[in-house]
Amino acid sequence: MIASVSVGTSSTSVLPPATGYAYKFVAIGNNGSTTAYLKLTPDATAVTASNGIPLAAGQVLICDQDAQKELFDAGVTAVVASGSTTLSVQAY
């Protein structure tokens, strides 16, 4: 999966839950100028600027699957506090 996802002030799915197997590799890059906040989504709690993992403009989050099977079975959502940003997502 390779995608470009626009993220605004409402919780947005940027990586859908895995089906059949966990993702082996995930990279999420913030191509915009606004900090995005990420959250794994195994529960119904929406991501917010106060509970999400900050991903500043120009930063990339990269994880491989050595010990994170449960981590990327869940999928990822993102939000910004104001405005919008674009996240690049690569997963397989």
Give the start-end residues of each E strand in the chain. 2-7, 12-15, 25-30, 36-40, 53-55, 60-64, 76-80, 85-91
* One pLDDT digit (tens) per residue for the chain, 92 residues: 899 999 999 999 999 888 887 788 889 999 999 999 999 876 667 899 999 999 999 999 988 766 555 556 678 899 999 999 999 999 88
- Distance in angstroms (rounded) separating the CA atoms of residues 3 and 86: 10
The residue extents of the domains of the chain are: 2-91
Q: What's this model's pTM, rounded to 2 decimal places?
A: 0.86
Determine the pLDDT at residue 7. Answer: 96
Determine the pLDDT at residue 67. Answer: 54
Tokens encoding 40: 């794994």
Give domain 2-91's CATH architecture: Sandwich (2.60)
Go through 59-80 and write b for each residue having 16 or more CB atoms within 10 A of its CB, e for each that does not.
eebebeeeeeeeebbbbbbbbb
